[in-house]
Amino acid sequence: MSQLPTLRQLQFIIALAEHGSFSRAAEAVFVTQPTLSAAIKELETILGTVLVERGARGAVLTPAGDAVLERARRVMTEAEDLVIAAQAAGEPLAGPFKLGVIPTIAPFLLPQILPALRARFPDIELFLREDLTDRLFDALRERRLDAALVALPYDAPMIETHAVWSDEFLFAAPPDHPLTRRATLSPSDLADEPLLLLEDGHCLRDHALTACSTGSARSDFAATSLHTLVHMVKSGLGATLLPRMAVDAGLVDRMGLEVRAFDPPVAGREIGVAWRKGSARAEEAIQLGDAIRDILDAPAAD
């Protein structure tokens, strides 16, 4: 049987492609430059082709090197998934777990659930990243995250999701706003109401517009965060929709705003957990989402 490349050699060629020089690649994988260079030479001997063009300006992969690089990444991913699957089978949700969270969830949900999650899964090491949905999905596909808490629906290639709980939208406006004096309130009442919303890129903006399908967003103002949004409303610039999760967490406390729920059927968004299609941590992602739902459904302590 022909000699096969080692995982270490594949790791070195990946590092070399990412860093563009032997010295920086060696530093990234914690070996000396001669060790890395010798391993790449041995890999070229095993494969019978030149993988790297060495020059004064650094190292560049040849066409053969590019072809090997693509497969090396797949092999390393499968090896990493093998380890993760074995560990998860022995003890799910133990060790490092990289979780992404969108900005309209993170500051309002995490303080509530993190202590309970740590109590339920004492061996988990949660690494958190807050970012917009598109960038979190990119990180999932690139295996830089294991799972993400996002608002649904949100279709994306190579991403699977599991809905966990519902988060209704509430109408928020200054006390003198005409809609605050209505005995009942439905999303259709916002037909002629230009809403203050988050800027493009936040899925909450799209979900809010979908919830009140006849409404519209003000084009002259857009906020970068919910905290900025409520201050814009307080300043009398208009009305908005806020997730109940944020209101319950105190977002509008002492802001002097009128907050109203809509009459049934309730308008809102689904909160769920997302993961890369085919991920070895899919079951753990679902288990984490279900645990969060249980924490949120648990009666509050007196």
Q: Determine the Cα–Cα distance for residues 198 and 244; give it in Å rounded to an integer.
A: 16
pLDDT at 207: 84
pLDDT at 216: 64
Cβ neighbour number for residue 277 with a 10 Å cutoff: 12
Q: Determine the Cα–Cα distance for residues 212 and 192; give it in Å rounded to an integer.
A: 11
Is residue 205 within 8 Å of 217, Cβ to Cβ? yes
Is residue 277 within 8 Å of 158, Cβ to Cβ? yes
Q: Report the candidate in 178, 161, 197, 168 with the shortest Cα–Cα distance to residue 261.
A: 168
pLDDT at 135: 94
Q: Is residue 63 packed enough to be buried (19+ CB in 10 Å), middle (13-18) or exposed (0-12)?
A: exposed
Each residue of 170-190: pLDDT tens digit? 999 999 999 988 888 988 888
Enter the pTM of the model.
0.73
For 61, phi then psi, to 5°, come to -75, 140
pLDDT at 88: 58
The DSSP secondary-structure symbol of 192 reads T
Bridging pattern class, strands 258-261 and 147-152: unpaired
Q: Determine the Cα–Cα distance for residues 75 and 118; give it in Å rounded to an integer.
A: 33
Cβ neighbour number for residue 248 with a 10 Å cutoff: 12
pLDDT at 302: 46
In the block, tokens 């590092």 appear at 15
The strand pairing partners of 166, in sequence order, are 270
For the chain, counts of helices (H) and of strands (E): 10, 11
In the block, tokens 């949905």 appear at 133
Residues of the chain with pLDDT under 50: 302
pLDDT at 89: 58
pLDDT at 90: 55
* 3 state DSSP class of 138: helix
Q: Report the candidate in 196, 197, 198, 162 with the shortest Cα–Cα distance to residue 270.
A: 162
Q: Determine the Cα–Cα distance for residues 132 and 203; give it in Å rounded to an integer.
A: 8
Q: Report the candidate in 186, 183, 152, 179 with the shortest Cα–Cα distance to residue 233.
A: 179
Domains of the chain: 7-89 (1.10.10.10), 94-302 (3.40.190.290)
Q: Record the tokens describing residue 262, joined without a space.
A: 């809509």
For 83, phi then psi, to 5°, come to -65, -45
Q: Determine the Cα–Cα distance for residues 241 and 149; give it in Å rounded to an integer.
A: 20
